[in-house]
Copies of this chain bind each other. A is one copy, B any other.
């Protein structure tokens, strides 16, 4: 049996503490903008339609047909991926999509993830009965990947999939076309799947993200999250594109026997949100606020002579604070300044002096929270 206790991260503990203390929460892994009331009204209207039209039963286990049709059109238009409705599976969020893929293709074998990587990957992979190997973020190249593969084989392990997360959580890195091409070349030569986690696709900053499957889709699973785009993570609607119909069918059978299908009304709401282009009403405003928060961060960090790599996309600032242990830092910060941040080492053991801060919050909230973080960092530094 999996040692489940080990899967509780330090950031999970921060989450619980921050909730108890009602802190200013910058550790969150979801956009924290208020949804405008006219958008709320629209969503309530979509729910009403779903009930009136009878979307109250089990749906097609792949997701309702109309939704997969608009997704196929969206993938073609936005992601340059050609995938018909039968290659798409609507899932109960992006995590569910990842979990189903890992269970299908990597059980008992290895999945490669970046270093640093979103702290839930190791847990999702282990709960899916697979094992992880870490690839340093900037060495997703043919040579490193094949070296790691050969080393695993010596230990009788098999690399089955590589996770590419662009824009990255936590670093905000966006892979270039050349880097993605090299990953695909490797995947084809070594017969390994690429799992392209594109849940932050709607948050481009300084570089436009490219969908891996737009280059070559033969070995690529693409994963998206509707709820991240609309700031409605509670909706639990994501979707995946499989490399072919046969693999989409296998994922569907697994989904059917894991939780049947995503909530029917939520699927319908997702359909209507896409049709009505609700994202166009939200994202421009949100991206503007994120960019203002980045400017503030740049300015303040430079004043303190702290080096920082600015995100090319996504919703996070990933900051190394020299000579701190971020687990101790995060707990004391929460205790003394009532601000929560995500803990570096959850993203990989090498990142003990890093913190991840949510950029997708109002400027007012961010400015207040970030000031308290820097203030506390200076207090600590002065003590030593």
Contacts and interface: CB of A to CB of B under 8 A. Distances in A.
A contacts with B: majority SS: helix
Interface string A338-361: 000000000000000000000000
B253 A107 contact: no
**Copies of this chain held together in the complex:** 2
Contacts of A260: 93, 95-96, 236
A257 interface: yes
A55 interface: yes
B254 A236 contact: no
Interface stretch (A179-187, A263-271, A367-375): A263-271
Given A44-B47, A107-B1, A266-B266, A257 B55 contact: no
Interface stretch (A71-79, A121-129, A166-174, A200-208): A121-129
A120 interface: yes
A259 B43 contact: no
Interface of A: 1, 4-5, 7-8, 30, 35, 40, 43-44, 47-48, 51-52, 55-59, 91-93, 95-96, 99, 104, 107, 120, 123-124, 126-127, 129, 231-236, 250, 253-254, 256-266
For the complex of A and B, the 6 pairs showing the least CB-CB separation, nearest first, are A234-B264, A96-B259, A127-B257, A263-B263, A92-B259, A123-B257
27 contacts: A1-B104, A4-B250, A8-B253, A30-B57, A40-B52, A44-B44, A47-B265, A56-B232, A57-B232, A57-B234, A58-B233, A58-B234, A92-B259, A93-B260, A95-B258, A95-B260, A99-B259, A107-B129, A123-B253, A123-B256, A127-B254, A127-B258, A236-B263, A258-B258, A263-B263, A265-B265, A266-B266
